Amino acid sequence: MQINMAEREIVLKLVYYGPALSGKTTNLQMLHELLDPEARGKMVTLDTTDDRTLYFDFLPVSFGTRGGFTVKIKLFTVPGQVMHKSTRKVVLAGADGVVFVADSQKASSSANAYSWRDMEANLKSNGIDFERIPKVVQFNKRDLPDIKPLDEIRAAWGGIPTFPAMATKGEGVIETFRELVRLTYRDLDAKHDFQNKFSVSEDDFLKGVLKSLG
């Protein structure tokens, strides 16, 4: 997080993490479509020839608060392929919250597990407290065959918020994003006393997000 008192700006970084082809880029693309054009910047996507993310996707979102601050949220994805481990570590640096996008298909269980462990290791190597950082898990591709049942998923992930999604149809995309923003606000408020120091409440954040989404 960065706070610029002179410009009255609060800048947050949220990262979408997960195995290759789980739907990280699709989430950002759908958010770009759903967001108010005045609230979002240009989405930048760097792809390989097979439509896999080579470096990262980037989507800036901004909204104002009643306290007179502008909140700027920088959304990133990481490349899921195993070979890009060093890139994932770089993109995670300075993250305020993460969405883990998992593939719901049973055949993807091992890839999901590897990517989760990889995320934990990269967060820790960046000096970020893995246990404390706001986390939301999205189980994408619910429209495909041979998927894990939701009750089994929720039992396995315990207290971490989980959301079913079909990102290609926009289902579950907003809910996932909004919950991460809420959790990130609560974490930052506990650390920096946002509400009292900056007159920025959780309600401001959530209303800003909802307004941005039209």
Give the three-state DSSP class for 127: coil
Total domain count, the chain: 1
pLDDT at 48: 52
Domain-embedded: residue 144: no
Residue 21 falls within a domain, yes or no? yes
Question: What is the span of the domain harbouring residue 39?
Answer: 2-97+110-136+173-212
CA dihedral 114, 119, 120, 124 (to 10 degrees): 140
Structural domain contains residue 197: yes
The type of residue at 191 is K
pLDDT of the chain, 214 residues: tens digit per residue: 898 889 989 999 999 999 989 999 899 989 988 888 888 888 877 665 454 544 567 778 888 888 888 888 989 988 756 556 677 888 899 999 999 999 999 999 999 999 999 999 999 999 999 999 999 999 999 999 999 999 999 888 888 999 999 999 999 999 999 999 999 999 999 998 888 888 888 888 888 887 777 6
Which residue from 138, 164, 22 is spatially nearest to 79, judged by alpha carbons? Answer: 22
Any domain includes 164: no
The CATH number for 124's domain is 3.40.50.300
Bridge partners of 102? 139
pLDDT at res. 51: 46
Supply the Cα-derived Rg of the chain in whole angstroms: 17
